[in-house]
Amino acid sequence: MAKGKSRKTATRRPAVRSTRPTAKSAGVSTKARSAGRTRPIPAARKVQDEIEALIKRAVGKRSPAAQQGRHGAILTGLKAKPAVPALTLTAETLASVVGDVPRVRGAGRMLAWTPAATIAGAISVAAPATRRMVALPPRGLRSGAHVENSVKDRLFSLHSHLLTGAVQLRNIGASTLGMGSLASSSAAVRVLGSIAETGAKLIEYRPDEENAVRAALPGLRLVPEVFYEPLSVRLSLESHLQPSGAGHDVQVTVRSTGNAKGIPRVKVVGFTNFALRAGAQAFTNSSGIARLTFAVKPSVLERLYVFADRGFWSALSLSVSTSSGVIPVDLAPIDLAQPHALRHYVGEPGLTEGAGVNVGVIDTGSGPHPDLVIAGGFNAVTGEDPTQFGDNGDLHGTHVAGIIASRGGAPTGIRGVAPGVSVFSYRVFPKGSNASNFDIANAIDKAREQQCDLINLSLGRPAGPSVSDEPLVRIALEDAREAGILAIAAAGNDFRRGVSFPGADELCVAVSALGDKTVLSVGSVSAAAAIAPPGTDPNEFIADFSNIGPEIDVTGPGVGVVSTVPQHDFAVMDGTSMACPAVTGLAARLIARKPAILGMARDAARATAIADALLTTARTRGFTANLEGRGLPR
């Protein structure tokens, strides 16, 4: 499938320590007295401030030494400003003080360079004594079948010296290679880590031996070791529930606008600082009352979210005062007779739309619901009964399946995009937990065995720096593609971050979330997802939570989507999880009308033909390509 875009590469900047050091911990040596200055040494904080000011003026400027390629040089001899003593800092301290220090090309560590002519102060930067790099085969993390034996030998030889101390490069693979020039190299490396015998190696060597190291390891890629910030951990709702009386309660009363009755089991989340995700959350009781418990009672809730898992639109209130002690919130019931996102974009398709197409939904399990027919499936969750592929209670998979294939209709139900398809349910999520790549790959294999034509992946994880970051699911997707299956994946809901894997992978069609204000309940969470820019239709938007980027292929309705939840209810959900099955349904309708494609031999060409047919139907909604890809398929 020619997606016409490059593979996503991570652009995260390496983490640096955020703690500002004291003058003592910074390894600062004040040399004022030795330099003959008569002024008293400034207080530690003032010195630290001066360091920051000097370094920030210098950041971005390259020293003559750097320009000459001598990255490991120690810089000294700067113009001294009398008010500031001469200082010595380690590179690590420098990085931690300044933060984002520009990277010197080819260096294993970030260093700031201070040109002698312009800096007001004398600063010497001690470069690290060693450099750490990762030695890689030509592709991926491990040597594949097509890698030259000489490269494998070098990696294997390095592996044999893992954690044994420095090894002379003349001994790396030379005995089997007879390479005289390498045999004479006296450069040495330490092998600190290894991924498989003929896979990537973390090596360490003196910076001034860089050239010798590279010359001794032809055919290997050398890339700097980099460090990533840890991902934020989402804390579970249950872990933040506090018993009444442990702090100060803010009471929230949730009622239906339909009959003014309290609504039980509604999730209430009050943020005191939304940017930090600081706040409290609770569920309503049988009377529709929730108590948010805080250590110190806030006077204002920056945001108050109220989510019902079925039957009602959600609500979002901003800057809510807690002075009255009780906050009333009214939720609008879902009216299946009224327009909603799916109906707005696809109408009420005929019950035979998509007939003859098998669709695999890889999710929390789907069904039961009276409007859904599940043709088969498999529970891939390790440790669970493989025959139990219905919804695990998280509701997500049933909602997704309903978007594709629900057979109800107004005013008592909803109609999916392709009600005639055969839905196969593959459960990969244990209830309330994340899915293992093993279980996902197993589910994809099962979908291949059961001859699905399309698989829907409303799941993901942040894409790594290369496809080898998560090879297993990719391999399973490759095998599925070889069997003529097209995978359609959600872009992810990280508020305009890069497209998640597997959506980011070229093997998948990645879907962003499209919304229309006219079909959203006023004051709902869904309505709050509308942000600029609008599309050609000023009421349309790409949801604020949708991941975006060059990997986006198409967009689909993903805001305020009404669909099925067990056992016989309906819920409103937002997400690229909803946009993805909408596009899957559109793909199913399309190929059901093209027997020439459906009848092709089950191979990669078939999958490509399905993708091409889908992408060529897409029409722009007036957004840029990184928001909508080619647009909304028809």
Question: Which residues are designated catalytic?
Answer: 363, 396, 577
Q: Is residue 272 near another protein by the rule CB under 8 A?
A: yes
d(CA 195, CA 159): 9
Using alpha carbons only, how large is the chain's radius of gyration in Å? Answer: 30
CB of 233 to another protein, least distance (A): 7
d(CA 386, CA 409): 32
Q: Which of 2, 129, 163, 296 binds another protein (CB under 8 A)?
A: 296
x/- letters, 523..562, toward another protein (CB under 8 A): --x---x-------------x-x-----------------
x/- letters, 365..384, toward another protein (CB under 8 A): -----------------x--
Contact segment (CB under 8 A) with another protein among 4-12, 142-150, 595-603, 617-625 equals 142-150
Residues 467-486 that bind another protein (CB under 8 A): 470-473, 475, 479
Nearer to another protein by Cβ, of 364 and 563: the residue is: 364
d(CA 193, CA 634): 51
What token pair was written down for 384?
A: 């669970």
Residues 13-52 that bind another protein (CB under 8 A): none
Q: Is residue 490 near another protein by the rule CB under 8 A?
A: yes
Is 598 buried (19+), middle (13-18) or exposed (0-12) by CB count in 10 A? middle
Q: Per DSSP, what are the bridge partners of residue 132?
A: 204
x/- letters, 385..424, toward another protein (CB under 8 A): ---------x-x----------------------------
CB of 153 to another protein, least distance (A): 15
| Buried b or exposed e, range 396-426, using 16+ CB within 10 angstroms | bbbbbbbbbbbbbbeeebbbbbbbbbbbbbb
Residues 6 or more apart whose CB falls under 8 angstroms from that of 553 comprise: 3, 509, 510, 511, 615, 629, 630
Q: Is residue 280 near another protein by the rule CB under 8 A?
A: yes
DSSP 244-307: TTSSEEEEEEEEETTT--B-SSEEEEEEEETTTTEEEEEE--TTSEEEEEESS--SEEEEEEEE
Q: Is residue 425 near another protein by the rule CB under 8 A?
A: no
Q: Which of 18, 77, 180, 234 binds another protein (CB under 8 A)?
A: 234
CB of 440 to another protein, least distance (A): 6
Nearer to another protein by Cβ, of 357 and 441: the residue is: 441
- Distance (Å) of CA 352 to CA 407, 422, 459, 579, 588: 10, 11, 28, 22, 11
Q: Which of 307, 389, 424, 426 binds another protein (CB under 8 A)?
A: 307
Contact segment (CB under 8 A) with another protein among 106-114, 365-373, 489-497, 514-522 equals 489-497
Contact segment (CB under 8 A) with another protein among 202-210, 418-426, 490-498, 581-589 equals 490-498
Q: Is 129 helix (H, G, I), strand (E, B) or coil?
A: coil
Helix (H) or strand (E) holding 579: helix 576-592
Q: Is residue 63 near another protein by the rule CB under 8 A?
A: no
Q: Which of 18, 77, 146, 243 binds another protein (CB under 8 A)?
A: 146
Nearer to another protein by Cβ, of 84 and 308: the residue is: 308
CB of 545 to another protein, least distance (A): 5
CB of 146 to another protein, least distance (A): 8
CB of 251 to another protein, least distance (A): 17
Residue 343 phi, psi dihedral angles, 5° rounding: -60, -35
CB of 584 to another protein, least distance (A): 15
d(CA 89, CA 125): 6
Q: Find, among 458, 528, 498, 516, the residue nearest to 271 by Cα.
A: 528
Q: Which of 90, 124, 150, 436 binds another protein (CB under 8 A)?
A: 436
Nearer to another protein by Cβ, of 212 and 572: the residue is: 572
Instruction: Give the binding-site size for another protein (rule: CB under 8 A).
Output: 72
Residues 6 or more apart whose CB falls under 8 angstroms from that of 136 comprise: 200, 220, 221, 222, 223
x/- letters, 437..466, toward another protein (CB under 8 A): xx-xxx--x------------xxxx-----
Q: Which of 144, 350, 393, 533 binds another protein (CB under 8 A)?
A: 144
Nearer to another protein by Cβ, of 74 and 475: the residue is: 475
| Continuous H helices in 483-571 | none
Q: Is 451 helix (H, G, I), strand (E, B) or coil?
A: coil
Nearer to another protein by Cβ, of 235 and 375: the residue is: 235
Nearer to another protein by Cβ, of 62 and 240: the residue is: 240
Q: Is residue 278 near another protein by the rule CB under 8 A?
A: yes
**393 contacts 386 by C-beta, under 8 angstroms:** no
What token pair was written down for 231?
A: 């991902």
Nearer to another protein by Cβ, of 41 and 196: the residue is: 196
Q: Which of 429, 541, 570, 623 binds another protein (CB under 8 A)?
A: 429
Nearer to another protein by Cβ, of 63 and 364: the residue is: 364
What token pair was written down for 510?
A: 């990645």
- Distance (Å) of CA 23 to CA 46, 51, 293: 9, 9, 42
Q: Find, among 460, 523, 455, 445, the residue nearest to 487 by Cα.
A: 455
Q: Is residue 253 near another protein by the rule CB under 8 A?
A: no
**359 contacts 404 by C-beta, under 8 angstroms:** yes
Nearer to another protein by Cβ, of 131 and 161: the residue is: 161
Nearer to another protein by Cβ, of 307 and 424: the residue is: 307
Q: Which of 274, 321, 375, 393 binds another protein (CB under 8 A)?
A: 274
Residues 6 or more apart whose CB falls under 8 angstroms from that of 467 comprise: 7, 140, 474, 505
Q: Is residue 576 near another protein by the rule CB under 8 A?
A: yes
Residues 151-210 that bind another protein (CB under 8 A): 196-199
CB of 479 to another protein, least distance (A): 8
Q: State the CB neighbour count (10 A cutoff) for residue 184.
A: 11
